[in-house]
Amino acid sequence: MGTFDAIGIAGSGMTVYQTWINAISDNLANVNTVRSTSEEAFRARYVVASSVEYGTPAGTQVSSIELGDAEGRLVYEPDNPLADTEGYVRYPDIDMTSQMTHLIMAQRGYQANAAVVDRAKETYQAALQIGRS
Amino acid sequence: MSIDAISGIGTSSMLGAFGVGSTSTTSAVAGTSGVQALGSSFGASLTSSVDQLQAVQSNAKALAVEAVTGDLDDIHDYTIAAAEASTTLELTAALRNKAVEAFSEIMRMQA
């Protein structure tokens, strides 16, 4: 569009960060999803972002969603109804600590882009104030 | 948000006053054609500004409908479109106000 490039670029960043937050939300929701050893574990979602070639519109985009390890980790829980004959079940290999730190990064990134939108709007409005009064 | 009334401004009436009035009264002065060109280019910029305003407002309106019907995926898509629409409206209003201000200034001229 031209006039609102800064706002559009920040908006594309917000879309990527929101996708990231959604993926982390999915990972955290399934952090204790137990499967039997005959199935593959819940695979963590990883958002792959890529920059849009400079031009119109610039910014960033979600290029793909990668899936984590299907192996998971085997946990000895003989009382679990899903346990195999040796007493093992399959948990997803998701580290909650790293997911939480990623969540903070995603949240701050989203907020940073929202701040850019606000500042860009303020800047344009400052231009509109020229010659008024 | 209907802005048919605004688009009426951009087309001809006021800009005719700028351009034609200058040519008839000051035809001997050099640079008259420049005034004429200025009038029409200002009209073109105001018209394109109004067109752009209509485009961003219809975009914001479509996203608002998506928001209330639950089809909106990203909240910021709507709020950004609304911010763009309001800023564009302010820009168009500023252009229009400046034009009217200049026109009034000319109309106040005494011999």
Q: How many CB pairs under 8 A join A and B?
A: 38
Q: What is the CA radius of gyration of chain B?
A: 19
CA distance A71 to A85: 18
Residue of B nearest to A125 (CA): B87
Domain extent for A115: 3-132
Higher pLDDT, A57 or B32: A57
Least Cα separation, residue B87 to chain A (angstroms): 7
Given an 8 Å threshold on Cβ–Cβ distance, is B76 in contact with A114? yes
| Residues on chain A touching B76 (C-beta within 8 angstroms) | 11, 14-15, 18, 114, 117
User: Which pLDDT does position A1 carry in this prediction?
Assistant: 53
Residue A98 structure tokens: 């790293």
Give the pLDDT confidence of B64-84 residue by residue, as tens digits: 999 999 888 888 999 999 998
Question: Tokens 């008259």 appear where?
Answer: B32
Least Cα separation, residue A33 to chain B (angstroms): 26
pTM exceeding the 0.90 threshold for the entire prediction: no
Residue A115 reports pLDDT greater than 90:
yes
Residue A57: asked if its preceding bond is cis (omega within 30°), the reply is yes
Considering CB atoms only, which of A7, A18, A128 is closest to B83? Answer: A7
Higher pLDDT, B32 or B59: B59
A35 phi and psi, to 5 degrees?
Answer: -125, 160
Residue of A nearest to B91 (CA): A128
Given an 8 Å threshold on Cβ–Cβ distance, is B74 in contact with A14? yes
Whether ipTM > 0.85 holds is no
Number of structural domains in chain A: 1
Residue B27 reports pLDDT greater than 70:
no
Residue of B nearest to A7 (CA): B80
| Cα-Cα-Cα-Cα dihedral sign, residues A116, B48, B3, B97 | positive
For residue A78, give the 3-state DSSP assignment. coil
User: Which pLDDT does position B32 carry in this prediction?
Assistant: 47
A57 touches chain B (CB under 8 A): no
CA distance A20 to A106: 6
The arithmetic mean of pLDDT across residues B36-54, rounded, is 79
* CA proximity to B103, closest of B16, B18, B5, B34: B18
